[in-house]
Structure 1
């Protein structure tokens, strides 16, 4: 009888150990949510220097940061550190040209991190190359993780302080998801500090829903705002809940073979970190990047469906952009650029936003449109357009130079 009891206890202990290991593995997998309200402590809150009560977050003026993009292996010398600098307006610095009150043409850009040009230096942004082409300053008001909604909000707040002849709205296709979001964590698991306002359509008109976070301290108790967040964030029901891991965690871990691959790769990186050196012949960083890209494909297909179901909201925001341009007297330009995860998918399936750019071009006489995928030709190597490693596959300096040329042509042709 005793051996059976010992065996039963051993089995229970083994099951608990496997469950604990599975839970810890799932916590490291970006495609899985393991907590609805992860804890936010004051140390993390203190690092959130870009908090903005009106926009959720916003690049602050007169800042300089050096960012390690991750282009190195454990124990190796850091090879890629980029510098992000902002001026007194909160615009990313444009080394090519300073602002001039009597400039023949003035240009500003708004959008997401692809507008901000993450993972490259100040003199490697497309705005820098545009400024060289046009011999004028080009302001950069891109914001990391911004959607078309926040970009439009920032434009309306910033434009009266810096009026320009041309305003470029530069976003990725992920805007279709971001304009439906209030708390990023519900779609980008772990992005727990990013709470934002959004617009909704009421009887065909845009209505702004302000962020429920008025002060940064409010982020310490987001659970008290659970009802608001769940109601106004579309992704709570449609993305977060379907990807929320629950007991038994082992079942969730084995649900997708890619989860196991990612967990094994993460374990390899941890071994390298503890040993303080890389394992010869194995590039865990590259393997992890490729695994993460594969796990991103369901999200891309999800966003593709959102263009089918929520394109009216996207269209309404573009119409608001065009109307604001008419009120203020500037030329509006809308440019769609591609994240790496979309570029790889769209090279086989076509653009997830369908004929959006062509429709906008036909609908608005005053709106210039650019589908950047039609101007960038990577051949069979789509990854060649992006930085080799880093946070999320942003465009390389060489690609930014080509983008700068394409966008500068619009200004030059319009000024003739």
Structure 2
């Protein structure tokens, strides 16, 4: 009898250990949600310096931040740090040319992190190169994780303070998901501070739903807003719930081989950090990045479906942009750029946004559209268009220079 008891206890101990290890592995897995309402403490809240009650968050004026690109192995000297600087307007600094009210042409840009040009220095953004091409200041009002809706809201708030002849809105295809979001965590697990307004379409008319967070401290009790968040965020039912892990966590971990690969990569990275030495012949950071790109495929396909089911909302926001341009008398330009995860998928399956650009061209005579994927080939190697390490997926300085040349043609053709 005793051996059976010992065996049973041993099995129980192993099961408990596996459950704890599996939970920890899933916590670090970007494709799995382990909690609906992770705790937000005052220390984390204090770091949220970009909070904005109207937009959710926004780059603050007169700031300079330096970011380690990750271009080094554990224990090695940091080889590359990028600098993000903003001016008094909250625009990313344009080092090529100062503002000049008497300039022959003026340009501003709005959009997401691809507009902001994350992962490159201030003098490596496409705005910097565009300013050199046009010999004029180019404002950069991009915001990390912004959807087209937030870019439009920021434009309407900022434009009266800085009127320009041209306004470029630069976003990725993930905007289709972001315009359906109220709390980013429901679709980008772990992004727990990002609560935003959104628009809905009712009887063909845009209706704005304000953010439920009026003050930053409201985030400390976000669970009290649960009913509002679940009701107004499309992704709660359609993405979060299907990817919410539950006991037994070991089963969720082992259910997908990519989950196991990701856990092994995390373990390897942790080992190298703790020991201060790299394991010869294995680049765990690269392996992790490639694993996460594969794990992103279901999300890309999900976004592709959203363009089929919610194209009317996206089109209505475009129409709002065009109408505002007509009201303020500037030339509107809509630019679609590609995240790395989309570029690799679309190289095989075609653009997930379908004929969006063609439809916009046919509908709006005054709107210029640019599908950057048709201009940037990377010589067949799409990864060459992006930074090599770091957070991954943003354009390299060389690609930003090409983008600037393409955007400059729009302005020069009108001169």
TM-score range relative to shorter protein? over 0.9
Aligned to 2:57: 57
For residues 184 and 76 of structure 1, the distance between their equivalents in structure 2, rounded to whole angstroms, comes to 34
Aligned to 1:171: 171
Aligned to 1:105: 105
Aligned to 1:332, the other structure's residue is in SS state strand
Aligned to 2:242: 242
For residues 392 and 90 of structure 1, the distance between their equivalents in structure 2, rounded to whole angstroms, comes to 25
Q: CA deviation at 1:2?
A: 2.0
Aligned to 2:311: 311
1:13 matches 2:40: no
Q: CA deviation at 1:269?
A: 0.5
Aligned to 1:28: 28
Q: Give TM-score scaled by structure 1 length.
A: 0.99
1:80 matches 2:80: yes
For residues 394 and 374 of structure 2, the distance between their equivalents in structure 1, rounded to whole angstroms, comes to 18
Q: Which moves more between the two structures, 18-27 or 57-66?
A: 18-27
Aligned to 1:103, the other structure's residue is in SS state coil
Q: Which moves more between the two structures, 305-314 or 23-32?
A: 23-32
For residues 233 and 170 of structure 2, the distance between their equivalents in structure 1, rounded to whole angstroms, comes to 23
| Count of equivalent residues | 415
Q: Give TM-score scaled by structure 2 length.
A: 0.99
Aligned to 1:347: 347
Aligned to 2:71: 71
For residues 272 and 313 of structure 2, the distance between their equivalents in structure 1, rounded to whole angstroms, comes to 47
Aligned to 1:82, the other structure's residue is in SS state strand
Aligned to 1:145: 145
Q: CA deviation at 1:378?
A: 1.0
Q: CA deviation at 1:392?
A: 3.0
For residues 2 and 347 of structure 2, the distance between their equivalents in structure 1, rounded to whole angstroms, comes to 63
Aligned to 2:271: 271
Q: CA deviation at 1:342?
A: 0.2
For residues 72 and 399 of structure 1, the distance between their equivalents in structure 2, rounded to whole angstroms, comes to 22
Aligned to 1:230: 230
Q: Which moves more between the two structures, 20-29 or 212-221?
A: 20-29
For residues 392 and 34 of structure 1, the distance between their equivalents in structure 2, rounded to whole angstroms, comes to 24
For residues 292 and 79 of structure 2, the distance between their equivalents in structure 1, rounded to whole angstroms, comes to 22
- Please list, as runs of the form range in 1=range in 2, the aligned pairs for 1:122-137 lying within 5 A after superposition: 122-137=122-137
Q: Structure 2: 5+ residue runs without aligned partners?
A: none
Q: Cα deviations across residues 280-305 of structure 1 (Å, max 9, x unaligned)?
A: 11111111110010000100000000
Aligned to 1:202: 202
Aligned to 1:388: 388
For residues 118 and 107 of structure 1, the distance between their equivalents in structure 2, rounded to whole angstroms, comes to 20
Aligned to 1:375: 375
Q: CA deviation at 1:34?
A: 0.2
Q: CA deviation at 1:77?
A: 1.1
CA contact (8 A) 2:334 2:369 kept: yes
CA contact (8 A) 2:169 2:333 kept: yes
Aligned to 2:67, the other structure's residue is in SS state strand
CA contact (8 A) 2:386 2:392 kept: no
Q: Cα deviations across residues 105-130 of structure 1 (Å, max 9, x unaligned)?
A: 00000000000000000000000010
Q: CA deviation at 1:253?
A: 0.4
Q: CA deviation at 1:3?
A: 2.0
Aligned to 1:108, the other structure's residue is in SS state strand
What is the RMSD computed on CA atoms of the aligned residues? 0.6
Q: CA deviation at 1:69?
A: 1.5
Aligned to 1:301: 301
Q: CA deviation at 1:379?
A: 2.2
User: Deviating runs (4+, > 3 A) in structure 1?
Assistant: none
Q: Structure 1: 5+ residue runs without aligned partners?
A: none
Aligned to 1:379, the other structure's residue is in SS state helix
For residues 67 and 5 of structure 2, the distance between their equivalents in structure 1, rounded to whole angstroms, comes to 56
